[in-house]
A and B are shown apart, each in its own frame.
Chain A
Amino acid sequence: MILRRHIISTLAMALFFAGMPSLAGQSQEKHRVRLKADYIKQMDARSYLDIKASARINKQTVAISGVELLVINEIDGEEIELGKLTTDQKGEGVFALDLNALKADSLHTYSLGVSFMGTDSLRRASRTVQFKDAALKAYLITRDSVYYIEAVLKDAVTDSLISEQNVKVQVQRLFAPLVLSDEINLTDDTGTILVAIPEGIPGVDSRLTIETVLEDSDDYGTLKATLDAPIGVPIIDESTYDERTLWGPRGKTPIFILLFTGLLVVGTWGTILYLIRILFKIAKH
């Protein structure tokens, strides 16, 4: 009787504790998701939304990877689905845009929405990006033997010049760009900036890839125009990658090492073989 009671109470306890995780699951708090979306236009190339999803979990910002985001075009209360994208391991994703296929409002402003539908542990989230289409054109000019970058910023729809926008000029580099312009470099009434290019900037085959950037503008997003300028100091390639060196891979062994080592090995082992032959001769006689 007592034994049976013990068994029943043990089973009851086990059932009770077995239910605990599911109870905990029910009261689990959903994490808030932050969506970041930037409109970027590379002149004469492509336009896209640069999207990043993150959440604050255990007081740390964590990238939300592998979630599906919906991109829509909002116009006069109407929502047109443009497509979906899935975030990568860094919680990032790029959504290519075709401006001709998008619809703008009467003020020529595009309104795009990015939304996340939520999961068991993450809340729903959305973000709207608004921008107007603009055009940034850069030219290389010379004045008094000094090279300048002249860039003109225009509204792409109305063709009107845009003033008072900060446009940076920089040289493309492997890790971070080399900024040539001042920190604040506003376009004038003609929508133009002019930045002198210092002498002596090294470039492969003397070519410099110069970027003119309108960065994170409230009205126009990010615009980037690049041009190749053959005005740099040529970089002399000192790499010995293709040469036969002592530090090269085994396929690039210096000839003298091959010859010297080869001769030593052949000479020594040739003599050893000759000595072994003598052993056979001794055995024969």
Chain B
Amino acid sequence: MAAIETLVKDLGPKKFSLRGKIWTVLLVAVIVAGIIAYIDQLIQGQQVTNMRDYALWGIYISNFVFFVATSFVGSVTVAILRLTKNSWRTPFVRIAEIIAVASIIMAGITIMIDMARPDRLLNLFVHARLQSPITWDVIIIPTYIVISLLLLYFPLLPDLAILKNHFKKTKPKLSKIYGRLSLNWSGSTIQKKLQSRAIHIICILIIPVGLLLQTVDAWLFSTTYRVGWDSTNFAPYFISGAFVAGVGSLVAVIYVVRKVKRLEHYITEYHFDKMGKFLALACFIYIYFNINEYLIPAFTSKKAESIHLETLFSGDYAFPFWLVTIVGLIIPALILLFKAGRKPKTMFVLSLLVVLGSWWKRYIIVTPTLLHPFLPIQGVPESWRTYFPSLHEWLITGATLAMALLIITFLVRHLPVIPIQRTADEQKDDKLKTAEV
């Protein structure tokens, strides 16, 4: 019992420090600016964006793809590690689950932001064509949100019960909330059995659903006959890219949480080393798919594709393309091969590069393709042939990213970021093993 109290002190919810408060205020300010911009977009219509006949998908869709990618890995990584019973997963599974929930919620909201008439959202269901990848997306995103929430919630139950008891005397109101959320968890054999079964089912379920989520996301592009998207490789290309974005985000958030909550004893260099290897593997697989996506068209390209590739390799988008590929992918992958590159601080910097690179990568996938249709669009102003997001788009996109970070911050603030009960059980097992030896 004393061990659990120590764990609660270390891992349980803590009040924000001044830095935490400033961080939250900053996020709220960005969100408010974004909401104002969005209201203006609703009033004036999408003319406030720079999306026109050419770039009919812009930064919103790039951002949406980024969120979907990030959410996929959080849940699927956790599921795989749980099913394979990797014990080193314990300190970061909850953070991964939290990232997954925040990202997939924001993915759903971002796609609504992209709709010029969100009041017609219901039409997506009422007039759904089951042949359309858009409909599949409409089905898969809410499904994934629910499963991600369940994956976060089920393992939380024992910890919520612990928090209920912990705050019983000091904060009875908070204790009541935790008590309700814990669903009268008493740790009985039946409850444990039910919980274990449920987690096992979710872990099995979320892998195909996650793969479907990424696949549908990729098919939204590849079923549209466009230069750069017309690829049978697109789904695995997206999945491998999602691993990079997701693991990168996970490492970055873990590092910050570890530092802020002083969890160095729980999230050790050993865990970073493991995550580093995982991230390196993800980067190399993604590099492989990138070579596939660009090299083969370079050999077989017809005129439209040649123009598109030229834009990426040496044209208008060459700088972001090479920056994303080299700085956001190749250099981190190479550094991560060395043990020194898998130290927490180095990995934090690398993960930031990877995450930023992943975000811009989606922009590069979406925008240059749209600017190079097979048939030029006639009778439109010359300025429509180029695209760079407007202030409204930046503010709104910034707000969605801030909102995702705020959800993560809120959950990290109010939930144990490392499972308390499980850590206690593992510590107990370790002690027993040591005693046996």
Contacts and interface: CB of A to CB of B under 8 A. Distances in A.
A100 to B, nearest CB: 53
Contacts of B128: 250
Contacts of A281: 194
B146 to A, nearest CB: 6
Contacts of A265: 139, 143
Contact of A275 (B129, B157, B190, B198): B198
Nearest to B197: A278
B205 interface: yes
A261 interface: yes
A150 B369 CA distance: 59
B147 interface: yes
B177 to A, nearest CB: 15
Interface stretch (B180-188, B242-250, B252-260, B353-361): B180-188
A282 B146 contact: no
Interface of B: 127-131, 136, 139, 143, 146-147, 150, 153-154, 157, 183-186, 188, 190-191, 194-195, 197-198, 201-202, 205, 209, 212
B143 A268 contact: yes
Interface stretch (A4-12, A37-45, A107-115, A251-259): A251-259
Contacts of A279: 153-154, 183, 198
B201 A271 contact: yes
A258 B130 contact: yes
A281 B146 CA distance: 19
A254 B190 contact: no
Interface in A230-285: 245-250, 253-254, 257-258, 261, 264-265, 268-269, 271-272, 274-276, 278-279, 281-283, 285
- 4 residue pairs, one from A and one from B, having the closest CB atoms: A283-B183, A250-B129, A278-B198, A253-B130
Given A282-B195, A285-B190, A285-B191, A268 B205 contact: yes
A60 to B, nearest CB: 21
A274 B150 CA distance: 12
5 contacts: A245-B131, A250-B130, A254-B131, A282-B195, A285-B191
B209 A268 contact: yes
A252 to B, nearest CB: 9
Interface of A: 245-250, 253-254, 257-258, 261, 264-265, 268-269, 271-272, 274-276, 278-279, 281-283, 285
Contacts of A285: 184, 186, 188, 190-191, 194
B170 to A, nearest CB: 25
Contacts of A268: 143, 147, 205, 209
B188 A257 contact: no
A92 B54 CA distance: 39
Contacts of B201: 271, 274-275
B130 A282 contact: no
A254 B157 CA distance: 44
Given A271-B205, A278-B194, A285-B191, A257 B130 contact: yes
B210 to A, nearest CB: 12
B196 to A, nearest CB: 10
Nearest to A268: B143
Contact of A272 (B130, B147, B186, B190): B147
Contacts of A245: 131
Contacts of B183: 279, 282-283
A261 B129 CA distance: 11
Contacts of A257: 130-131
A253 B202 CA distance: 31
A29 B188 CA distance: 100
Given A268-B143, A282-B191, A247 B150 contact: no
A258 B128 CA distance: 12
B130 A269 contact: no
A250 B157 contact: no
Give the most central of B184, B185, B194, B195: most A CB within 10 Å: B194
Nearest to A267: B205
Contacts of B127: 250
Contacts of B150: 272, 275-276
Given A253-B130, A257-B131, A272-B143, A282 B197 contact: no
- Pick from B129, B184, B186, B209 the residue with the most CB of A within 10 Å: B129
Contacts of B188: 285
Contacts of A272: 143, 146-147, 150
A269 B143 contact: yes
A282 B143 contact: no
A283 B183 CA distance: 5
Contacts of A247: 131
Nearest to A274: B201
Given A248-B131, A250-B128, A285-B191, A264 B202 contact: no
A253 B129 contact: yes
A281 B198 CA distance: 11
Given A268-B205, A271-B205, A272-B147, A282 B194 contact: yes
A253 B131 contact: yes
Contacts of A276: 150
Contacts of A253: 129-131
Contacts of B153: 279
Contacts of B131: 245-248, 250, 253-254, 257
Contacts of A269: 143
